[in-house]
């Protein structure tokens, strides 16, 4: 079971083996966390996305690319459900965290930084987004030793810390 901590900061600066990207189905960059990771990591990440995911990625699934210029060696891309667009199956959100840990295991990653998937522009209610993250990351068997849930705002960091009992 990994040690899970809440971190206030920028996911693109995390010194971990892999960062998780809340991507869109097209896998060609976007806004929010996705845009930040692509900007900070440089064009190599997009080139790898195009090569590895020529037809994109399904909601709830995950795959990896190189980390480009990020401190992390890899980026694990996962496509969260768009609550605002009517994708409200919590199982898809849970699958994002589970599949991301499975990909991390395949890569041999020991430390992974996660954003709160679908909690930004995709509109998943924050309380449930935090619960889904903490519950899933706590229950999935994985070789990952360290999990950071990285929050960009103090409010979100407080919510994650509270859910972790910190």
For the chain, which residues make up each domain, given as ranges? 3-163
Q: Say yes or no to pLDDT of 1 above 90.
A: no
What pTM was computed for the model? 0.97
The least confident of 28-32, 104-108, 142-146, 159-163 is 28-32
Model confidence at 166: pLDDT above 80: no
Q: Which of 105, 99, 88 is nearest to 2 (CA)?
A: 105
User: Rounded CA gap, 16 and 154, in Å?
Assistant: 21
Average pLDDT over residues 2-25: 97
Segment among 23-27, 69-73, 87-91, 162-166 with least mean pLDDT:
162-166
Q: Does domain 3-163 have CATH number 3.40.220.10?
A: yes
From the candidates 10, 17, 34, 128, give the one annotated as an active-site residue.
34
Mean pLDDT in residue range 16-20: 98
Active-site residue 34, yes or no? Answer: yes
Phi-psi region of 45 (alpha: psi -120 to 50; beta: other; left: phi over 0): alpha
Q: Percentage of the chain surpassing pLDDT 70?
A: 100
What is the CB-side half-sphere exposure of residue 130 using CA atoms within 13 A? 17
């Amino acid at each position: 079971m990994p040690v899970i901590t809440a971190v206030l900061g920028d996911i693109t600066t995390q010194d971990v083996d892999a960062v998780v990207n809340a991507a869109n189905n097209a896998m060609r960059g976007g806004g929010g966390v996705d845009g930040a990771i692509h900007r900070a990591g440089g064009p190599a990440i997009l080139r790898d996305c195009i090569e590895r995911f020529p037809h994109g990625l399904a909601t709830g699934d995950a795959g990896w690319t190189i980390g480009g210029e990020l401190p992390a060696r890899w980026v694990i891309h996962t496509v969260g459900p768009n609550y605002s667009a009517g994708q409200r199956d919590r199982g898809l959100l849970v699958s994002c965290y589970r599949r991301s840990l499975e990909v991390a295991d395949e890569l041999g990653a020991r430390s992974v930084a996660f954003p709160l998937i679908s909690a930004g522009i995709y509109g998943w209610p924050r309380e449930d987004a935090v619960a889904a993250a903490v519950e899933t990351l706590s229950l999935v068997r994985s070789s990952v030793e360290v999990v950071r849930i990285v929050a960009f705002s103090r409010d979100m960091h407080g919510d994650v810390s509270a859910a972790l009992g910190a």
